[in-house]
Amino acid sequence: MTDVLSYRTDKIEQLKKLAKKRNLSLSQLSSDIIDEYLQFYVLTQNFDMYRDSKETISLCFELIDKSDLDKIIAFAIKGDVQSIKTTIQEYSFENITDFIRSWYKFNNFKVEEFDQDGIMRFVCKNNMSENWNTVLSAEIVAVYKYFGYDGVIESKEKGLFDFKISKQKSH
Q: What per-residue confidence (pLDDT) applies to 35?
A: 80
Q: What per-residue confidence (pLDDT) applies to 14?
A: 87
Our measurement of the distance from residue 155's CA atom to the centroid of its chain's CA atoms, rounded to an integer in Å, reads 18
Q: Which letter, b or e, does each residue of 62-94 get, where b requires 16 or more Cβ atoms within 10 Å of its Cβ?
A: eebeeeebeebbeebbeebeebbeebbeebebe
Q: Looking at the structure, tell me whether residues 94 and 28 fall in a common domain.
A: no
Q: Looking at the structure, tell me whether residues 37 and 121 fall in a common domain.
A: no
pLDDT per position as a tens digit, 15-44:
888 888 889 888 888 888 888 777 777 767
Q: What per-residue confidence (pLDDT) applies to 72?
A: 94
Residue 39 contacts by C-beta under 8 Å, 6 or more apart in sequence? 102, 105, 106
- Is 4 part of any domain? no
Q: What is the pTM of this model?
A: 0.77
Q: What per-residue confidence (pLDDT) applies to 18?
A: 85
Q: Looking at the structure, tell me whether residues 72 and 126 fall in a common domain.
A: yes
Q: Name the least confident of 21-30, 104-113, 153-162.
A: 21-30
- Is 171 part of any domain? no
Q: Looking at the structure, tell me whether residues 89 and 75 fall in a common domain.
A: yes
- Percent helix, strand and coil across the chain, each rounded to 5? 55, 15, 30
Residue 59 contacts by C-beta under 8 Å, 6 or more apart in sequence? 129
Residue 158 pLDDT > 90, yes or no? yes
Q: Looking at the structure, tell me whether residues 21 and 54 fall in a common domain.
A: no
Number of domains, the chain: 2
Q: Looking at the structure, tell me whether residues 90 and 143 fall in a common domain.
A: yes
Q: What per-residue confidence (pLDDT) applies to 43?
A: 67
Q: Looking at the structure, tell me whether residues 36 and 114 fall in a common domain.
A: no
Q: Looking at the structure, tell me whether residues 158 and 141 fall in a common domain.
A: yes
**3-state SS of 61-130?**
HHCCCHHHHHHHHHHHHHHHHHHHHHHCCCCCHHHHHHHHHHHHHHCCCCCEEEEECCEEEEEEECCCCH
Determine the structural domain holding residue 23 and report its residue range.
12-45
Q: Residues 81-95: what's their mean pLDDT?
A: 93
